[in-house]
């Protein structure tokens, strides 16, 4: 089955591409979710208009993303977590944590756009990529520190 993509689909193609997919994938996934149209002669005529509109929209999104890069790269996020002796965290810092911290600083970023191959499980300084656009990525500094916890017995002795 040939379909025309209405949106970018990972590992398949970009908006406006005509791709050949399995019948079930097209009929049961792409078409119901309005991610694609069947590639008929009428739809192929409309695709040229969609491509031009998509190119204009993509250029505007890219320009907006490029303006956000210097602002985001100036930000340093700091997380404090409980950790063991070797700096290994008892929990982890995930893309959802990073997205929440960015939202607290006034930047709405979808957690799926944060390029974190696996959660951060050790203390230290990290650089995390945020994909703002297909061609634009910002890098944010993330500092994960150990929680300095004063034991209750030591606090009682200090008094």
Q: Where are the domains of the chain?
A: 2-66, 75-153
Is the confidence at residue 158, as pLDDT, over 60?
no
9 DSSP 8-state letter: B
The 10s digit of each residue's pLDDT in 89-117 is: 888 999 999 999 999 998 888 888 999 98
Q: Identify which of 2, 76, 81 has the alpha carbon closest to the alpha carbon of residue 44.
A: 2
Residues in the chain, how many? 159
Residue 87 has pLDDT above 60, yes or no: yes
CA distance linking residue 122 with residue 110, whole number of Å: 24
Q: What is the pLDDT of residue 156?
A: 47
CATH, domain 2-66, list 3.30.1950.10, 3.40.718.10, 3.40.50.300, 3.40.5.10 = 3.40.5.10
Neighbours of 5 (CB within 10 A): 23
Considering the entire predicted model, what is its pTM?
Answer: 0.64
Residue with tokens 């965290």: 89
Please tell me the CATH code under which domain 75-153 is placed: 3.10.430.100
């Amino acid at each position: 089955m040939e379909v025309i993509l209405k949106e970018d689909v990972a590992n398949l193609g970009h908006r406006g591409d005509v791709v050949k997919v399995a019948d079930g994938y097209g009929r049961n996934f792409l078409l119901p979710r309005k991610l694609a149209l069947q590639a008929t002669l009428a739809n192929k005529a409309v695709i040229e208009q969609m491509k031009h509109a998509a190119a204009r929209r993509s250029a505007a999104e890219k320009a907006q993303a490029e303006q956000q890069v210097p602002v985001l790269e100036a930000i340093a996020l700091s997380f404090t977590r409980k950790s063991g002796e070797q700096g290994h965290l008892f929990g982890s810092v995930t893309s959802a944590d990073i997205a929440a911290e960015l939202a607290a600083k006034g930047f709405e970023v979808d957690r799926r756009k944060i390029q974190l191959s696996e959660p951060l499980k050790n203390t230290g300084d990290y650089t995390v990529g945020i994909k703002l656009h297909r061609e634009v990525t910002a890098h944010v500094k993330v500092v994960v520190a150990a929680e300095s916890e004063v034991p209750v017995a030591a606090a009682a002795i200090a008094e």
